[in-house]
Amino acid sequence: MGKKSISDKKFSEKNEKENIVCGRNSVIELLASERTVDKIFIRRGQREGSLLRIFAMAKERHIPVVEADKLKLDTMSGNANHQGVVAFATDFIYCSPDDIISFAVSRGEEPFILMIDGINDPHNLGALIRTAHAVGVHGIILPKRNACGLTAAVYKAAAGSCEHVMISRVANIAETISYIKEKNIWVYGADGKAESDIYKTDFSGAVALVLGDEGRGISRLVRDRCDILVKIPMRENANSLNVSVAGGVLMYEIFRQRG
C-alpha cells in the first residue's frame, strides 16, 4: 500500500475533529443540550420526519440551517452515516474524574465509572457510551492519546448519549486508576484470561470497570493496578466477544447487582 497523500492526511485530521455531530438522533440530542451549535447542514430537498423537528429546534435557538448536497455532507462527516444532517458545534466540554465522583455523590449513589484503555474503533466506543448511558454509569474516563476521541462516527454510534454521560480525558489511565482507588472505588479490569467469573463477583459499592482495546486488551500496567480481573464465562474454544458486546454484558451485570 502506498503512502497517504496530503489530501488523505487532511481528510483524516478533519475526521478526528470533535465538534462535528451527524445523524438525526445525535443532532436532536445536541440541540437539546447546552452546547453552542454554530450551523446545521441538511441534505437539499429533504424536509420530512425528524428533520422537521431539527428545523424547528434550530429555528427556536436561532441556529442557521443550510441545505447541501450529499457529497458535501459525506465529506464533512468523514463518510459517517449522517442521515442527511451534519451539525457544527463547540468542542465537547470534558470534565475531571473528581467531577464524575462528585456527581454520583450528589445523587446519593455509589460511583459507577467506565474506564477505557485504548479503544480505537469509533463504533465500539460509541456503542459503549450508549450502553453506559442506559445502565446509569456516572461518567466515562478516556485516555488523551492512542485512543479514539469523540468524533462524528462516535457520536453517530452513541445515538445522542454523549450529551447525557459525563466524559473525562486523562493523560494516564494507570495513574488515574491509582487516584480513584484512593477515593475508595474498587477497580475491576476485564480480562479474558482472568480467574474470577463476573457472575460470581461482588460488584456492590463504588465500582470502576476498565475495558481494553479489542485486540490487545488492557495494558500490563493498567492490569497490574486493577483490584481484581474479571472474565465473562464462555464455552470452550469460543471466539472472544467484540469489546462493545463484552462491555455491555459487564455493565449490565454491574447494573443488575446495583439494583
What tens digit of pLDDT does each residue of 28-77 get?
988 988 888 999 999 988 778 889 999 999 999 999 999 999 999 999 88
Q: Flag whether 129 is in a domain.
A: yes
Q: What is the pLDDT of residue 57?
A: 92
Residue type, 25: N
131 contacts 245 by C-beta, under 8 angstroms: no
pLDDT tier, 8 (very low <50, low <70, confident <90, very high otherwise): very low
3-class secondary structure per residue, 142-200: EECCCCCCCCHHHHHHHCCHHHCCEEEEECCHHHHHHHHHCCCCEEEEECCCCCEEHHH
Residue type, 6: I
Please say which residue of 89, 118, 144 terminates a domain: 89
Q: Is 31 helix (H, G, I), strand (E, B) or coil?
A: helix
Regarding whether 106 and 82 lie in a shared domain, the answer is no
Report for 19-33, 75-89, 196-210: range of highest mean pLDDT: 196-210
Q: How many domains does the chain have?
A: 2
Residue 39, strand partner residues: 88
Residue 211: closest CA among 192, 197, 196? 192
- Residue 29, Cα to own-chain centre: how many angstroms? 15
Determine how many CB atoms are found less than 10 A away from the CB of residue 50: 14
pLDDT tier, 10 (very low <50, low <70, confident <90, very high otherwise): very low
Cα distances from 69 to residues 82, 100, 220, in angstroms, run 12, 41, 48
Q: What is d(CA 124, CA 127) in angstroms, rounded to the nearest whole number?
A: 5
Regarding whether 214 and 138 lie in a shared domain, the answer is yes
Q: What is the pLDDT of residue 19?
A: 85
Torsion sign (Cα): 168, 171, 174, 175: negative
Regarding whether 80 and 111 lie in a shared domain, the answer is no
pLDDT in tens, 121-164: 989 999 999 999 999 999 999 998 878 888 878 888 887 888 88
Q: What is the pLDDT of residue 6?
A: 32
Q: Flag whether 12 is in a domain.
A: no
Model pTM above 0.85:
no
Cα distances from 240 to residues 174, 230, 247, in angstroms, run 24, 14, 12
Please say which residue of 66, 89, 112 terminates a domain: 89
pLDDT above 60 (res 11) = no
Q: What is the largest CA-CA distance in the chain?
A: 58
Q: What's 68's domain CATH number? A: 3.30.1330.30
